[in-house]
Each structure stands twice: as C-alpha cells, then as structure tokens.
Structure 1
C-alpha cells in the first residue's frame, strides 16, 4: 500500500498496488488461493541465522526508529516492518513495491521497475535519511527469477540506517512488543495475528494496532491471506505481522477481495529473508528481537 504518486491515482479511481482495485485485489490479479484442504502445507527448509538482540538496540527500547514508523521513498509513504542486522549494519524493512517506479498496475516483482539501490529513504524519527540497500524486485530481476510465486509475493526491501541514528533504533513493535523470533512454518487457518500499521490516511492513532486471523497459506507458502480489524489501508504497505507467539511472520503487501473482502495479503518473511541472503543481502542477515510480547489473548 503506497502513497505519494500512486495515492493520487487511487483517489482518481485507477488501479494501484494495495490502493485500488484490479480484478480481485488492489494489485495485479494474483494466483487464486489453493483449496483450504491444501493450505498450510510445509514448504522447504529456509535456513536463517538465529535472531539477534544487540546491546546497542536493547538500550534503545522505545527509541525513535522502530517497527511501524513511516518511511518515504521518493515521496511515497509506507510503513516499516522489522529491524534487521547483517554485515555489521542495521536495517529497517519496508515493502519492495514502495520504491516501484512503473505504472500503478505493474506489481509483478520480476518485471516491475524500481528505484536503484542507494536511493535515499526518509525515516520518521531519524536525523538522516537511510538508503535502499536491498530490494527483492531488483534482486529477482538480476537473478532472472522464473518462480511465479516468488515473482508475485517476494516483496521485501531493506533500508540501511545511517550510523548516526543506530543508537535511536528499537526493534520492539509498538503496542504488542516482540518480535520474539521468526515464524518459519506459515500460518494455519484461524491462527491469530497482529500488526501495527501507521498510514497517514487512517487519521486515528488508536486504529494502528490490528488483530485478526489467518486464512491459511497460498502461493505455495509465499503468502498468507489474513483478515484483521481494521484492514490495512494505503500507506500501511510493508507493515510487519506477528503470529500468536509474537514471532515475525510476514510483511503486508496487498488488500484483497478474495478469499474475503477486505483481507490482506502478507508475504512470508522467512522465505523473503532466505531469498535476500542468497541474492545480494548480507549472508548473516537476521531479524532483531524486540521487547516482551503482549499476549493476543489480552488484546
């Protein structure tokens, strides 16, 4: 869900990724969900480094740069998902499509164009812009990726935090806490989820925390449709999703009409991180752990 250039298109009624209707979603029509009986089929192992808790970030819990802050790439506003480390640097995650440059309906990551690596990204709470350090769309195009599920759902970018701002980074998700780890087995139908969106369009801060339920897996495990109250809206793109145990499970990418009106498509974070590690991101790229998780049973 992207503001800036594409928000104007949305208000005019044209299609846009997570911002306007094109067939069954605010995005290019995605492959239809697999039948419920085939959902949640375990995918291949995705080896990843263990999540890390860095002392400099532990001291910054409640810092000004954290999951859920607004990020702007060439004027387009999205929402950051989680904090990552790798190669001795600290990164903030956002959706790859937040730096897209093509038409509003160009949402296939293997063909859609993006701003280049090194592009400045304004980060709320930071004293200096970050810079685009990895983008799954660019990575897939460089690798000549042919997997249709990866092309449709691999939607992750990493924004390198300027060294001057690292001490202001907190990996803790507002309101909910966590992440407590990385989810690697997808989402079963009915499993509870939580997210923190921060779109400027929402206008009511109390609606930023969202809880809901998963509708299973689709795209051979690359994506998880979820239904939350309230749903993600344009500007929430890139928001992180947590499972019922506080583990980071995905990144908000689309607003769908199927399998349920108002549901969101959430890209699988474990798969996207595994792809990133083997396609240009640091080999030790890892999720940074946050503070104590607030049980969804208390929300």
Structure 2
C-alpha cells in the first residue's frame, strides 16, 4: 500500500476528509470526455421545450449541476425576454438530458435531473427591476442525480476548457468559441462547434451582455449554450437572438454576474464553475 493510501486511511480512521478545502466531498470521477453523455452541449428538455447545456457546476456539499437558460423553463411566449416579469415552472420540475433529437422527436433520454435554481423565478420573487439584469440574467441550474454523475464531463466538446471565468469582458473583434447542438440541426454534428466575433461590450448595460456574431447564428434550441473567450474562459451563456439594431446577432449573458447572483440568492452554498478536464484548443 502506498504512503498516499496509508495517509488517506489514517485520515479516514480519524474521521477527517481528504476532500479539497471548503468542499464537503472529493471531486467526482468524471466520465472520459470522449464518452461522457452529459456535458456542455447536451440537449435538455423541460416540458417539451429544448435548450442546450452550458457549463457544469458544484456546490460545497458536492452536488453536481448542469446549467441552461432560465427562459427554457418559462411559461410565456418564446419572445418573452424580461425575466423579472415572466412566469416560470416551479423548482423541482423534471428536466431530461437527451441526444439524437430532431424537430419531431426528442431523441434518446440519457438521464433525468431536477430544476433547483432559476434566475427568472428568483428575480420575480425579489422584485428586481434593473432593465439589464432582467434582460440578461438568464441562468438556471439542474441538479444531476448522484447515480448519473458518472456520465458527466465538464469539458466543452471539440474546444476543451473552460479554464475559469472571464472577468474582463470582450472588445470588438475578440474571437469567441461555442458549441450548440439544437435538434433543428437534425443531428449535423459538424455544425455544432463554431466561432464568433465580439461586437464589443456596451457599458450602458453594466457588463450584463456581450453582443456578438457567430459563423452560424444561434437557432432555437441553442439557448443556454456556453461561450468561451480566446483563452478558454467562460464568458457567458446564449440568451437571445438580436433583432435590432444588429439583426442575426446573438446576445450572451455575462456568466460572472449570473453566477454571483445565483450564489447570493439560490441557497446553494459554495456554488462554483467546474473547469474542463480537457485542454482548451482554439483550432478549427
């Protein structure tokens, strides 16, 4: 038996933990990136509405969550973008992870999770009124069942990462990277990884939104998709398709702000982004 194993056994005998400081359990054994069935880019269905998984998160208790857009659990029209006013499905709603879906078939169900946090429900409860927050704070978290954690990998398919959370925003011309696999693509995996160009942050919205153009614009079902910066950091998640003044652009909500809001109001202690197991490789 190695010295490391002996030390772990001794700690266990004393009732101590070898988990990372500040967390209630050791990191999960993630599925290999090339065989994981739940990962950023996986399709997620809520009462028939499809969105795309963005990043993987953990809390202090060691629970694992997958993020998607809060509006995916909204009860209004697809054009509703004010999360402070729109009604949403209750926490505890079942959300499924699927693959192989198309416009007529939700595909194969991989696992079932539970909606445990919605920025839309939270803002409505708090009476939030700031226009930018209401428009772009669009993050929901789905808790993965313990038995399904072994199916999860936090890496972005094709690109790798995330390497952390971006805190600097984007400048006009900055390259961004995303992975969306909406069922509207009919299973065309080659269209899932794509790049984009930032249009520059608008200081007027307090850093809540990052407008950009992508090689193939986000389509319905891509909502919630993860976006990475040029150094592989998590910038944000796909919220809306721009109509004016920038037709066919996409707007992504700032993940740093969305996650800070969730930490303050979700009740999930120690909530954090999980970094990818695969090296970020911005090569197309």
Q: Tell me, yes or no, if structure 1 residue 79 matches structure 2 residue 49.
A: no
Query: Relative contact order (C-alpha < 8 Å, sep 6+): which is higher?
Result: 1
Segments of structure 1 that go 5 or more residues without pairing to the other structure are 1-48
- Could you tell me how far 1:96 is from its partner in structure 2? 0.2
Supply the distance in 1 between the matched residues of 2:114 and 2:83 (Cα, whole angstroms): 20
- Could you tell me how far 1:59 is from its partner in structure 2? 5.7
Give yes or no for contact 2:31–2:150 (8 Å, CA) kept in 1: no
| Range with bigger deviation, 53-62 or 227-236 | 53-62
Deviations 1:96-146 (A, max 9, x none): 000000233332100000000000001126654101000000111111112
Q: Tell me, yes or no, if structure 1 residue 157 matches structure 2 residue 130.
A: no
Supply the distance in 2 between the matched residues of 1:207 and 1:59 (Cα, whole angstroms): 23
Segments of structure 2 that go 5 or more residues without pairing to the other structure are 1-21, 100-108
Q: Tell me, yes or no, if structure 1 residue 214 matches structure 2 residue 198.
A: yes
The answer for the alignment partner of 1:246 in structure 2 is: 232
Q: Equivalent residue of 1:98, what SS? A: helix
1:65 is aligned, of 28, 35, 38, to 38
1:283 is aligned, of 240, 251, 269, to 269
- Answer with 1 or 2: which has the greater Rg: 2
The answer for the alignment partner of 2:256 in structure 1 is: 270
Supply the distance in 2 between the matched residues of 1:104 and 1:206 (Cα, whole angstroms): 27
The answer for the alignment partner of 1:117 in structure 2 is: 91
Supply the distance in 2 between the matched residues of 1:118 and 1:80 (Cα, whole angstroms): 18
Q: Equivalent residue of 1:182, what SS? A: coil
TM-score under structure 2 length normalisation: 0.82
Give yes or no for contact 2:33–2:155 (8 Å, CA) kept in 1: no
- Could you tell me how far 1:58 is from its partner in structure 2? 6.7
Q: Pairwise CA RMSD of aligned residues?
A: 2.0
Relative distance call for 1:268 and 1:71 in structure 2 (3 A) is same
